[in-house]
Amino acid sequence: MRPVIIAANWKMNTTPADAGELAATIAARTAEPSVERVVCPPFVCLAAVGDALHATGVCVGAQDVHHEAAGAFTGDISAPMLAGLATWVIVGHSERRRDHAETDERISQKLRRAVEGGLRPILCIGEPLEVRERGAAAAEALVEGQLRGAVGPHDPSTLADAGLVIAYEPVWAIGTGRNALGSDAAAMAEAIRARLARLGWGADAGEVPILYGGSVTAANIGEFLAEPSIDGALVGGASLKPDEMAGIVGRAGLTAAARLAATA
């Protein structure tokens, strides 16, 4: 049974002075042991958030990692630097692809460094509006290409053992007022697992958790978690609001309970 995961991406919000309190509040409001919860604050807030989440069952993740372990890369953060501060990491987020021109090859390198550093990766893939408007087949082709470029160079068993999680984030549904449907996300999740199988993952392809990440809120999370192929969410702006996170994780808890009951 795949786990149900809710990951919070705080993006470039909060400071070390207020991040700990927010993290503690969210942890208290989302005390649902059947749901894996991850908070990904800015780098400068990792220590404060880690202290606040100690013994709460909520994990800490970083929002990015450099593709090299060390070197002359001013302003960057490597996987070894994250040791003791984070256990998860987001790789290939659409905003990194857009703002920092990250290629699939570079994202694959980051994925390698994350795994070498003992970090559990959340690999983000998703299509922009101009591709979605060409139809579902074009969208699936682009996403499958991103997946092939990122995970293709790696041994499937290594990524499976590292607990790879994939977040499907339709770029056209992030902060645009346009909404993806649960059926859109489910179809893409099935296409992603099919591509993994063709890349040599075999039965392990069906065990990879796939999250939805596209303007997730407490009001719409149910539509996505109703799809058996969707295993949770990568939450952006709503993850800064304890009430929203309480609603999202609460709904995720219902999904986790239903899956557990189905296997009993």
Question: Catalytic amino acids?
Answer: 93, 169
CB atoms within 10 A of CB 224: 29
Cβ–Cβ < 8 Å for 123, 115: no
Is the CA virtual torsion 110, 11, 142, 252 positive or negative?
Answer: positive
Distance CA 193, CA 140 (A): 12
Burial 9-31 (b: 16+ CB within 10 A, else e): bbbebbeeeebbebbbebbebbe
Residue 84 CA, distance from chain mean position: 20
d(CA 182, CA 53): 31
- Neighbouring CB atoms inside 10 A of 57's CB total 13
Distance CA 82, CA 34 (A): 26
Beta strand pairing call for 4-9 and 232-235? parallel
Are 90 and 119 in contact by the 8 Å Cβ rule? The answer is: no
Q: Name beta bridge partners: 166.
A: 123, 210
